Chains A and B, each alone.
Chain A
Amino acid sequence: MNIVVALKQVPDLQQIRIRNRQPVFDGVPYTIGSIDKNALEAGVQLKEVSGGNLMAVSVGNEELEDTIKEALAGGADEACLVIDDKFADIESSISAALLAAAIKKIDDVGLLLFGEGSGDNYSGQVSSRVAEILGFPQIGYASQIELEGQTARITRVLEDSEEVLEVRMPVVVSVLSDINKPRIPSVTQILKAGRKPKKVLGIDDLEIELSGDRTITTLSSLAPETDRQRIAIKSAADLISALRAEGFLGR
């Protein structure tokens, strides 16, 4: 059985600077989305228990061949990448169409893992869209995954409740960031990562037609203006007076 984990290459958010309220991407390296790393780790742990092959799948620009090494070092056995220089910043519906087309080329997919949201946009649409395209059932916001034969048993955590669900695979599962703590790859694993099998596909290799029309237009993207007083406080007593003046004490 193949355990497939879908990963998104995102700009390293820690390194994005804001200038004149605009994000500056110059020199910002790519990385794998933070919750995607939890999805990868979940796949590695399941593979360690149940066996199978762990395949990383991703869509992106040319940088992806380098970025994906992080996933191969983190425990994926191989990678299947859809690369095109137009894929630097594509919308969810197109990512989903490309991922689904790539996943269709993989035999015997059992579990298809996603992070609950991408590192940059966090819209959480892609896992649901891929599940719909492939006709797979889906379970989002997993805090625990157990596999037994052809059955997956998933604990889903909602805002105010928890559900335990069982489903026959294949199934799409999105994981929460606290499902695990991704391991830090050893030097040997990092060195080995470069030699693991990597299949690179172009859009012509996929049975897919993209219309090219964007379904979403971004009209503006600006850092919020911070309009704060920034009054420097020197002592606990000063802070108490300030809170009292604002009416927060003795309520």
Chain B
Amino acid sequence: MAAILIYSEKSPLALELLTAAAVIAQDTDLDVKAVCINNNEQADEMAGRGATTYHIQDNLNLADTACVAAALEQAVNKLDASIVLLSSNRRGKELAGRLAQKIQAGCLTDVNGLAVVEGKIQCSRNALGGAVISTQRIETEQQVIALTPRSFEASPVQEGGSVQPLAIEAVSSPLKLISSRGQAGDTVDIEAADILVIVGQGMEEEDMGLVESIAQTLGGEIACSKPLATDRKWLPEDRIVGLSGKKCKPQLAIILGVSGQVQFTVGIRDAHTIVAINNDENAYILQMADYAMVADLKEILPELKGALG
């Protein structure tokens, strides 16, 4: 029977794919098959969540997208997969296009919602820089779908899983990995924060201390619009909210001095409560706020800090 194949090199994301695959499997006659590559721990974890797991153990260069795509192409053929679910993190997105081209599949990346309608999968994703949400369907026999991290919950522990080896033909790689390291220092995960204080170009650097203190009192983290990290370099790149940064869904977002271009708002519009403070009464961000305040940050930040104690 045809199958849904899932793969992500990151175990937490692979567990989300398992949930998404279950959504599809429920309304189709497809089996779910998880593939792991050189990762015993992940293979056991997937099996522990009820997945029929296939473990490829081979001398593969995982830094080489072409190489991983070639391995997955073999898995797709051996396991008779018609749907491939990948994670839409950086490696996963790069892999999605390459694998889709190899197997002549239609492909959608950054997909944040799935539904099966009349036996066909409908995907939702942001388009036009986030200005619109598109609902799209892949028409080809085989489909590659890459899912935005955190769009689905991790699959719960379930019985009935198994692990078996999957042999593939060797794939050589022309890429040489010279070095690899975790990013140093700042490892705050703004996607996981309940409260975010987000600063934009309306901020002055000397007021960042006030913002830090406000964020700390609230128990929140600081994030920013893209120019603050890439142009002004006040904050590291992993604090960027928006289309090419993180998509965050905090309980509370306090947005300071951000005008609200769609490339930014796409990263925060799913927040539960939004507070926006801007000195321009016409700033779009004020329209998408639950609490909107027209004020000069220079005056309001000290007052806020004082009032918070």
Binding site for B on A (CB under 8 A): 11, 13-14, 16, 18, 21, 23, 35, 92-93, 96, 116-117, 119-129, 131-133, 137-141, 153, 156-168, 174, 177-178, 181, 213-224, 226, 228-237, 239-240, 242-243, 246, 248-249, 251
Consensus secondary structure, chain B interface: mixed
Residues from chain B with a CB closer than 8 A to the CB of A132 are 66, 69, 97-98, 101-102
Stretch at the interface among B25-33, B35-43, B159-167, B282-290: B282-290
Known: A161-B182, A165-B177, A178-B230. A92 touches B136 (CB 8 A): no
Contact with A along B236-247 (1 / 0, CB 8 A): 011000011000
Q: Is there an interface contact between A129 and B97, defined as CB atoms closer than 8 Å? A: yes
A143 and chain B: residue at smallest CB distance? B237
B98 and chain A: residue at smallest CB distance? A128
B59 is an interface residue with CB less than 8 A from chain A: no
Q: Is there an interface contact between B174 and A137, defined as CB atoms closer than 8 Å? A: yes
Q: Is there an interface contact between B139 and A214, defined as CB atoms closer than 8 Å? A: yes
**Which of the residues B133, B137, B269, B307 comes within 8 Å of A222, measured between beta carbons?**
B133
Residues from chain B with a CB closer than 8 A to the CB of A181 are 231
Sample 23 A-B pairs with CB under 8 A, ordered by A number: A13-B131, A13-B262, A14-B261, A18-B131, A92-B107, A93-B101, A122-B129, A125-B96, A128-B96, A137-B64, A138-B65, A138-B98, A140-B90, A160-B182, A163-B180, A215-B106, A230-B292, A231-B290, A239-B293, A240-B308, A243-B252, A246-B252, A246-B273
Contact with A along B85-126 (1 / 0, CB 8 A): 000011101111110111001111110000000000010011
B88 and chain A: residue at smallest CB distance? A124
Q: Is there an interface contact between B135 and A219, defined as CB atoms closer than 8 Å? A: yes
B63 is an interface residue with CB less than 8 A from chain A: yes
Known: A236-B307, A240-B304, A240-B308. A166 touches B175 (CB 8 A): yes
Residues from chain A with a CB closer than 8 A to the CB of B294 are 232
Residues from chain A with a CB closer than 8 A to the CB of B107 are 92-93, 123, 125, 215
Considering the chains assembled together, what is the distance between the CA atoms of A214 and B136 in angstroms?
12
B230 and chain A: residue at smallest CB distance? A178
The minimal Cβ–Cβ distance linking A133 to chain B, given in whole angstroms, is: 6
Supplied contacts A156-B63, A159-B238, A164-B179, 6 more A-B pairs, CB within 8 Å: A14-B261, A158-B90, A230-B286, A236-B307, A239-B275, A251-B219
The minimal Cβ–Cβ distance linking A106 to chain B, given in whole angstroms, is: 20
**Which of the residues B230, B231, B263, B303 comes within 8 Å of A13, measured between beta carbons?**
B263
Q: Is there an interface contact between B108 and A216, defined as CB atoms closer than 8 Å? A: yes
B1 is an interface residue with CB less than 8 A from chain A: no
Q: Is there an interface contact between A16 and B131, defined as CB atoms closer than 8 Å? A: yes
Residues from chain A with a CB closer than 8 A to the CB of B303 are 235-236
Residues from chain B with a CB closer than 8 A to the CB of A123 are 93, 97, 107-110, 125
CB-CB nearest 8 A-B residue pairs: A128-B97, A215-B106, A125-B97, A236-B303, A132-B101, A140-B94, A128-B98, A233-B293
**Which of the residues A120, A124, A160, A218 comes within 8 Å of B93, measured between beta carbons?**
A124
**Which of the residues B63, B288, B289, B291 comes within 8 Å of A163, measured between beta carbons?**
B63
**Which of the residues A138, A177, A222, A236 comes within 8 Å of B94, measured between beta carbons?**
A138
Considering the chains assembled together, what is the distance between the CA atoms of A212 and B132 in angstroms?
26
Contact with A along B42-57 (1 / 0, CB 8 A): 0000000000000000
The minimal Cβ–Cβ distance linking B100 to chain A, given in whole angstroms, is: 7
Q: Is there an interface contact between B129 and A215, defined as CB atoms closer than 8 Å? A: no
Q: Is there an interface contact between B244 and A232, defined as CB atoms closer than 8 Å? A: no
A161 and chain B: residue at smallest CB distance? B182
The minimal Cβ–Cβ distance linking A212 to chain B, given in whole angstroms, is: 12
